[in-house]
Amino acid sequence: MRLTALAVLVALGATACGGGDKNANAAPAAATPAAATPAATTSAPAGPVVEVKMTGNGTSQAAFDPKTLTIAPGTTVRFIDVTGGPHNISFYADSIPAGAAAVLNAAMANRIDNLEGALLTNPNDHYDISFAGAPEGVYKGFCLPHQALGMKITITVKK
Other CB atoms closer than 10 Å to residue 81's CB: what's the count?
A: 25
Predicted pLDDT at 8: 38
Predicted pLDDT at 43: 67
Provide φ and ψ at 66, rounded to 5°.
Answer: -80, 160
Element (H, E) at 137: strand 137-142
Give the rounded distance of the alpha carbon of 56 from its chain centre: 17
Just list the catalytic residues.
87, 143, 146, 151
- Does the pTM surpass 0.75? The reply is no
Range of the domain at 136: 49-157
Predicted pLDDT at 21: 44
Q: Partners of 81 in the beta sheet?
A: 54
Residue 69 lies in a domain: yes
Cα-Cα-Cα-Cα dihedral sign, residues 150, 70, 86, 118: positive
Angle at 53 between CA 123 and CA 81, to 5 degrees: 20
Side chain identity at residue 1, one-letter code: M
The domain that holds 148 is classified in CATH as 2.60.40.420
Residue 1 lies in a domain: no
What string of pLDDT tens digits covers the 159 residues of the chain? 443 333 433 343 443 444 444 444 444 444 333 333 444 445 677 789 999 999 999 788 999 999 999 999 999 999 999 999 999 999 999 999 999 999 999 999 999 999 999 999 999 999 999 999 999 999 999 999 999 999 999 999 999
Total domains, the chain: 1
Say how far apart CA 130 and CA 24 lie, in whole Å.
Answer: 51
Residue 95 lies in a domain: yes
Residue 23 lies in a domain: no
Predicted pLDDT at 100: 97
Residue 88 lies in a domain: yes
Residue 28 lies in a domain: no
Predicted pLDDT at 47: 85
Predicted pLDDT at 105: 98
Residue 8 lies in a domain: no
Residue 140 lies in a domain: yes
Query: Are β-strands 76-81 and 137-142 bridged in parallel, bridged antiparallel, or unpaired?
Result: unpaired
DSSP state of 93: G
Predicted pLDDT at 77: 98
